Every structure is written in C-alpha cells, then in structure tokens.
C-alpha cells in the first residue's frame, strides 16, 4: 500500500493457531521516517495488544477453544486508526519482546527490493562455479549490491559452504528457493531459508550448520569496499545413506523421468527419519512416512529407517493415546488418519521384512491406540471426534469436529490390518475382537453415510448433526479401497474410478493419488493408472521439475496466483510412481 504523508498506525490481527514462524514488514521511502511503538518502548517499534482470551486450543481435545468475542477485541479495528485512539485499550497494550525483533532481515531484503538490474555474467564471476583454479571476482557497485543466482540444476538438500577472500565487514547473504520461471520467483513465505555471514579480513571458509533444501541459491554481497574473490561455493548434500538398488526403464521416456523424480524426491526426504520435504518443515509426519516407506522399498530397499520411524510413534503416548501426527513434537496435534496409516505401515513393514519380533513388539502399542480411538465411537456407532481431520488438499468436507467418512473408513482398515500384528504376538482373541468392531463399523457406515439418491457416500456429518451435501472422489476411493463398499455399491464406485462424476470434488494432491492408484490396482485398472501418471506427473516435468510436487496446480491456496504451481516442490508423499511403476505396472511383488 502507498501511504500519504503523516503518522500512521499499523494494526495487524494475528488471532489464529500458529505453528511457529515470523512476520515481515518492509517499508521504503525517499523521505526520512521513524518507527515507534504505541507502548512507548524506545527499543522496539512494535507493541502487542492482548491476549484477550487465555484458553488454549488443542485440536484433539474437545471443548477447548480460543474465544474472540471479547468486546474490546471486536472494537479494536474500528476504534484504533491512530496511536491516540489506543489509549482506550491501554490495559491491553504491552511492549514487544526485544529478543523477538530484528531489522537485519535477510529474507525481506531478498523479497522486497527497490531495484533489481539484470546483467550478463562476466567470465571473472563464472570462475567461481567452473572447474578452474582462478577465483570468481565479484565486483563492487557504488549504488547497490552484487547478487548471484545459482541454479543447481536439480533440488538438493544439505549444507551450504563457500570459501572466499573479502574485506572485513563484508556481508554475505544466502537465500534458497525451490522454483523460478520467466521472472517469477516463488518465495518461501513462512520459511526464510536464509543465513547471513559477516566476513573477517582475508581468505576464509564457512559451512552453514543448518540443513536447507532448494534448487536456486541467491548469494548477495553487501557492503564490500573491494571486490570479493569467491574461490568455491557448494552444497554438501546430507541425506540418509542409501544403496542405489532399484531401477526402472521402459520405452516411454516420460515414465522413466517420472520414476527418476520420484526416486530423487524420496532420497531428499530421507534424513534420520523420513521427512515431508527438505525445504519447509523437514518433519517426520507419520502419515506421509507410510507412503514414503513403500516407495523406498522399491527405489532403495532400506528397512532400518522404516523401523526407526515406526518405533518413534508410540513415544507420543505421553501426550495423547491417539498418537501425534508428527513425532517427536511439542505441537499437540492429531490427524487420526495419520495414526491409522501408521498401523498400515507397521503391518506392511512386518510383511516386507518377515520380522515377526517387530510385529509382536509393536502390537501392544497398536492395541493401545485403537482401544482409545474406539472410545470415540458415538451412539450412532461411528467415529466422532475433534482433530485435524485431514486426507487431501482439496475442498472436501472434512471438518475438525464431527463424523468424517474417510476417517471411519480408514479406521475399518486399520482394525482389520492389525490382525496380522496380533497374530505374531499370539493375541488371537484380541484380534478377533477388533475385527468384529471393524465389521460393525463398516455396517454402520453403509447404513448411515451412504446416499442412495446420489449413489455415493457423503463426506461427513457435522457436529451439529447436519449431513454434508459434498460428495468427493476422495471418500468414494477410500470406501472402495477399504472394502466397505460391497456388492452393487462396490460396482458403482468402481465405475467412478474410471469416470469421476464432474460434480464430485476431484483429487487435489499426489498424496491422495497414492490411494487412488491402490484402488485402481485392486480393480485391475493399471491402464488408467498409467494415464493418470502421464497426465499429472507429466505436467510437473513440463515445468522442468526434478522432484515431485506437494499439490497439483490450482489447489485452493494458490488460485489467486497462477504462477504458484504448488507450495513445496519436493514432497515425498507425492512419489507414488516410484512404487506403483514397479509393484503394479511391472508386477514385481515381494515373496510371501
């Protein structure tokens, strides 16, 4: 926004749940200006107003919500256009914590630049990245900084290092991004992905202690009084040590490239655990890791990392018996499906490795969480709970309270899959009891959540009892995959797999495509699977992707920006072709 001359008050409402992060303010003016705090604090030009309610929202514990109905909270936006108007709210205004504020903003200086002039790269600069003994010489500009944009050629994950000669006080700013195209840069809002190095005099080297994921590196030299000699810049890739065991090649170059980006994505998301992505959270998300483990079996064949991940999950039982969706974590969050996928992954790992000792050891942990999930079965006979009820980045009806159909369906599958683990532990009676609960739950799903007129399962029943009017391919796919749809209904949904009704919400992420491909394999429709892989992963390759995207283009969060094709450009929950091209298309199965 452009501001007129005079005093202005910036009031930012940050009332929301928060997963950590930062806020940035960038101000540019030809005239001198000063920033000051409404709280009168001279050290930091910010103040906090509130908090208006002290209740804590923990999403798997019903009945605890942040309230924003305080009259002062509602009155603030209209009553506080100036600092003077804040006097009525003086009891709420507090100085900002100085340790949380800085004006040394590497991210901001890369995103909000008053001027950026592109120039041809001279040979003297190219020396820094060419295999020659001479250093790259980065010039001094009287009225600006020297910025290099380095394309690594593919996404990487690791530690940035360099060796250079510079005058004392020279600032080196580094900023990594995943995607650039035709003048557009996808900035990493919510993740700075930056660091600043301040030089001593002379020749020196540095390796950042923080792992970063990116393809393009902005390296900016600021404040140097003489040219900087850049001897070397590199990234020390840091991923789980894998043996290059798997391979795939056929007559279709697009499928070969798709398999390769799936393999590369999976490797970049293997650290000491599987992680969601190398750039953003870099977190062991429990649900993601089930798909990642299956892909890994075919592209790398590693098993120790899988067992480590599976063993970590029950460690969150001290936080909740429903198990957290990311571990270890201080963020108290439960995605029920992620726990159900963990149970599927335990069964798949035991079957893949033949490790009956693991199955017997993990069974009590599986029994523990399933027992507590069954306590959330309501009087209607369905799972009804508060949680982050997620399955896909798409506008399906999946409220964070109520009866969510896809969760009930995956609970059926988790209960049934647990039998193989129970058998290894000699807990046959307990396994039979869970199987009986699965059958009863499936029967109730068919009785309550099927819409005969629409010939489909509804997405949910809201907490207030309102039946959803949303019908999604996600819910139909899961009903088919989990074996709840039987007889005529199974045949109807099998038809939807090849001809999705246009009025249904369509699949929005490669993660959901994983389950769609499982359903297609069950139906023996591998040709449809290949068509879908060619279409959806082909569009990634058309944009020069070297890794698999988190979402398909035009997902809900980025429709206002057509240049933003996805959020994360490297997300291993999306590497499905690395598994299905081998297991389903080629039919390479593990021995029984």
pLDDT digits (tens, 9 = 90+) for 11-30: 888 776 666 677 888 888 88
1-103 belongs to CATH 2.60.120.260: yes
For the stretch 83-135, pLDDT in tens is 778 888 888 888 888 998 988 889 999 998 888 888 888 888 888 777 888 99
Q: What is the mean pLDDT of residues 153-177?
A: 97
Predicted confidence band at 510 (pLDDT cuts at 50, 70, 90)?
Answer: very high
Q: Residues 450, 367: contact at Cβ < 8 Å?
A: no
For the stretch 253-267, pLDDT in tens is 999 999 999 999 999
What's CA 156's distance to the chain center, in Å? 17
- Residue 121 vs residue 367, higher pLDDT: 367
Where exactly are the structural domains of the chain?
1-103, 107-237, 246-302+520-551+565-592, 304-508
Would the pLDDT of 54 be above 70?
no
pLDDT at position 274, please?
97
pLDDT at position 473, please?
97
Q: Kindly report the backbone phi and psi dihedral angles of residue 348, in degrees, each rounded to the nearest multiple of 5, phi listed first.
A: -65, -40
| Token pair recorded at residue 320 | 């909740």
Write down the mean pLDDT value for the chain. 91
Highest mean pLDDT among 191-195, 202-206, 389-393: 202-206
Strand, helix or coil at 391? coil
What's CA 335's distance to the chain center, in Å? 13
The rounded percent of the chain whose pLDDT value lies above 70 is 95
CA distance 149 to 116: 12
pLDDT at position 125, please?
86
CA distance 34 to 39: 15
Would the pLDDT of 320 be above 70?
yes
Strand, helix or coil at 411? helix
For the stretch 429-470, pLDDT in tens is 999 999 999 999 999 999 999 999 999 999 999 999 999 999
DSSP 140: P
CATH number of 304-508: 1.50.10.10, 3.20.20.70, 3.90.1150.10, 2.40.50.1070? Answer: 1.50.10.10
CB-based contacts of 67: which residues, under 8 Å, 6+ apart?
A: 52, 53, 55
CATH topology of domain 107-237: Jelly Rolls (2.60.120)
CA distance 191 to 280: 6
pLDDT at position 467, please?
97
CA distance 298 to 284: 20
Predicted confidence band at 57 (pLDDT cuts at 50, 70, 90)?
Answer: very low
Would the pLDDT of 51 be above 90?
no
| Token pair recorded at residue 138 | 């980065």
* H helix and E strand count, the chain: 15, 15
Would the pLDDT of 142 be above 50?
yes
For the stretch 534-561, pLDDT in tens is 999 999 999 999 999 999 986 665 556 7
CA distance 29 to 25: 13
Would the pLDDT of 56 be above 60?
no
Q: Residues 418, 343: contact at Cβ < 8 Å?
A: yes
Q: Residues 275, 556: contact at Cβ < 8 Å?
A: no
Domains 1-103 and 107-237 are alike in CATH topology: yes
Q: For 54-58, 73-77, 82-86, 219-223, which range has the lowest pLDDT when averaged over its residues?
A: 54-58
């Amino acid at each position: 926004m452009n501001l007129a001359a005079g005093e202005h008050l910036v009031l930012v409402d940050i009332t929301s749940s928060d997963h950590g992060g930062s806020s940035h303010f960038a101000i540019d003016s030809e005239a001198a200006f000063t920033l000051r705090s409404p709280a009168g604090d001279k050290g930091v030009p910010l103040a906090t107003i509130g908090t208006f309610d002290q209740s804590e929202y923990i999403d798997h514990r019903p009945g605890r919500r942040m309230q924003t109905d305080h009259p002062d909270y509602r009155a603030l936006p209209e009553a506080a256009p100036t600092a003077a108007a804040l006097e009525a709210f003086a009891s709420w205004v507090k100085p900002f914590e100085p340790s949380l504020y800085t004006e040394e903003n590497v991210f901001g200086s890369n995103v909000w630049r008053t001027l950026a002039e592109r120039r041809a790269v001279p040979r003297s600069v190219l020396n820094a990245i060419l295999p020659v003994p001479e250093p790259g010489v980065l010039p001094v500009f009287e009225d600006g900084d020297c910025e290099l944009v380095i394309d690594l050629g593919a996404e990487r994950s690791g530690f940035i290092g360099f060796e250079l000669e510079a005058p004392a006080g020279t600032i080196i700013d580094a900023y990594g991004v995943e995607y650039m195209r035709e003048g557009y840069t996808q900035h990493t809002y919510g993740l700075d992905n930056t660091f600043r190095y301040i030089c001593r005099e002379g020749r020196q080297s540095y390796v950042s202690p923080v792992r970063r994921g990116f393809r393009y590196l902005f390296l900016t030299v600021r404040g140097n009084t003489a040219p900087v000699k850049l001897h070397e810049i590199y990234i020390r890739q840091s991923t789980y040590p894998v043996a290059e065991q798997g391979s795939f090649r056929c007559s279709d170059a697009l499928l070969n490239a798709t398999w390769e980006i799936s393999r590369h994505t999976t490797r970049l998301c293997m650290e000491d655990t599987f992680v969601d992505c190398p750039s953003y959270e870099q977190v062991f998300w429990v649900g993601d890791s089930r798909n990642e483990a299956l892909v890994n079996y075919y592209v790398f064949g590693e098993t120790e990392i899988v067992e480590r991940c599976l063993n970590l999950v029950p460690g969150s039982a001290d936080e909740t018996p429903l198990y957290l969706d990311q571990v270890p974590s201080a963020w108290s969050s439960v995605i029920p499906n992620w726990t159900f996928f963990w149970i599927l992954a335990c069964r798949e790992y035991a079957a893949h490795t033949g490790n009956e000792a693991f199955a017997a050891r993990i069974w009590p942990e599986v029994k523990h969480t399933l027992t507590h999930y069954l306590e959330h079965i309501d009087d209607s006979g369905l799972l009804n709970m508060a949680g982050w009820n997620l399955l896909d980045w798409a506008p399906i009806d999946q409220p964070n309270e109520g009866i969510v159909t896809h969760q009930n369906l995956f609970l059926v599958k988790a209960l049934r899959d647990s039998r193989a683990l129970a058998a290894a532990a000699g807990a046959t009676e307990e396994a039979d009891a869970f199987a009986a609960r699965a059958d009863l739950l499936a029967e109730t799903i068919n009785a309550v959540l099927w819409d005969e007129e629409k010939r489909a399962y509804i997405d949910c029943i809201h907490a207030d009892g309102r039946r959803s009017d949303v019908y999604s391919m996600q819910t139909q796919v899961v009903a088919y995959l989990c074996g709840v749809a039987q007889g005529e209904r199974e045949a109807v949904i099998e038809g939807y797999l090849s001809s999705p009704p246009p009025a249904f919400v369509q699949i929005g992420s490669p993660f959901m495509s994983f389950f769609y491909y499982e359903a297609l394999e069950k139906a023996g429709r591998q040709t449809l699977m290949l068509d879908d892989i060619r279409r959806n992963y082909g569009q990634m390759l058309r944009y020069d992707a070297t890794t698999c995207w988190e979402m398909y283009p035009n997902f809900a969060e980025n429709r206002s920006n057509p240049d933003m094709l996805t959020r994360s450009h490297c997300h291993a929950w999306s590497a499905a072709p690395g598994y299905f091209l081998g297991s389903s298309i080629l039919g390479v199965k593990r021995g029984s």
